[in-house]
Structure 1
Amino acid sequence: MRIFRPLIILLALLAAASAQPAKSRLFTLPYEARDALRTLTKTIDNAHDRIDAAIYSFTHKTIAKHLKNAARRGVKIRIIFDRSANLRNRKSQLGYLAKYRNIETMLLAGKPYRDPDGDRALMHMKMMVVDSRHVVLGSANWTYSAFGKNYEVILFIDDYAAAKRLERSFERMMRSATPY
């Protein structure tokens, strides 16, 4: 059941979003990749106070530059990266973002599970909450492949209740994460 929880949440948010179309935007990639990337960077650019993000794979330099610029404007940014996908990945934006003031970069390994090889699950989320109001989530990592050739979905929602729920989940992950 835990494996399906993110899917259930996504479907519930999609259902809520369809009831309030003026407060949400859904993009299917690769067909709407350019518009999705533009909406994502605009959401970052319009942040006033805080951005919390959890992302499995993050190699897209354009998104990283918009986050850096938001931090320079004084926006507090916290990003949880999956440890296995980013720590030794030379294309990951983890190291690039870690050097900027107002950006806190964290690593999170998934919970251990019974496996003869001792493998761990993944921190596989792809979500962002901006100013406790705006939610971005879906299947897309922040990579060039996701915004160029992969079949993905990204949902943008303006919903305080959904944002607060994701923030609570984010805070629980932060307690388990380690600084980069």
Structure 2
Amino acid sequence: MFGKFFRVVIFSAIFVCAPNLAVNFTKKVDSQNIAQVKKIASTQNNEQLFFMPFEQKQALNALLSSFKSAKQSIQVSIYSFTNKEIAKALKDAAARGVKVAIIYDKDSNAKNKTSTIGYLAKYKNISVCLLEGLDAGKYKGIMHQKMAIVDSRLLVLGSANWSKSAFEYNYETLLFSDNTEFVAKAQRTFALMAQKCQMF
């Protein structure tokens, strides 16, 4: 990353300090590297990055679409989940036979009447559980992830809780990636957390 940054700085310096050289250099770069650029673009992972509240509708629609297109499984670990539209998308997926597993943070959801945990727990093909963070004596950690894994092929990560305010009013991020290494690592982590989870 830093190497790329320094290359950009050096490249910029050429333009500032030597205009004539910059023109020739640019022509050479264009002719030699255009094929390589196309090659890189064609092999990149399919990723989408959204920033809320600027792209709130696009972010929410992308999340809903990923659940609507699920064929086999959806795994979710979420700190706060009160958005009814997202909950319905998970319920509908379960009705199609998709296996849905959700890990909720215990403190934020166990006794929270606005949480979707009670609504989703009653449906077939949906399993929910509660997880606490590590116990450090005076302080107990929380399960603060906001993650979804769809069909073992798509990873969704972000800063946003699944709430109306997070998507509409907060400054949040949401990333979609089909990077196989990231998906596999996320699934291993989800499995480890599920082992420590308390069924609701």
TM-score norm. by structure 1 comes to: 0.86
Bigger mean CA offset, 66-75 vs 18-27: 18-27
Q: 1:26 aligns with which of 27, 35, 49?
A: 49
Q: Deviations over 1:100-138 (max 9, x none)?
A: 0000001001111131xxx41010000000111100001
* 2:102 counterpart of 1:79: yes
RMSD of aligned residue pairs (Cα, Å): 1.5
Q: Is 1:152 aligned to 2:175, yes or no?
A: no
SS of match in other structure, 2:170: coil
Higher Cα Rg: structure 1 or 2?
A: 2
Quote the residue 2:5 is aligned against. none
Match of 1:121, SS? strand
Q: Percent identity?
A: 44
Q: Which has the higher contact order (CA 8 A, sep 6+)?
A: 1
Alignment partners' CA distance in 1, 2:103 and 2:42: 31
Tell me the distance in 2 between the aligned counterparts of 1:53 and 1:28. Answer: 20
- Aligned equivalents of 1:171 and 1:156: distance in 2? 20
The amino acid of 1:177's aligned partner reads: C
Count of residues in Structure 1 that have an aligned counterpart in Structure 2? 160
Higher helix share goes to which structure? 2
State how 1:1-180 maps to structure 2 within 5 Å. Answer: 23-115=46-138, 119-180=139-200
Return the alpha-carbon distance in structure 1 between the equivalents of residues 129 and 54 of structure 2: 32
What SS does the corresponding residue of 1:128 show, helix, strand or coil?
strand
Unaligned runs of 5+ in 2: 1-40
Q: Structure 1 unaligned runs (5+)? A: 1-17
TM-score (norm 2): 0.77
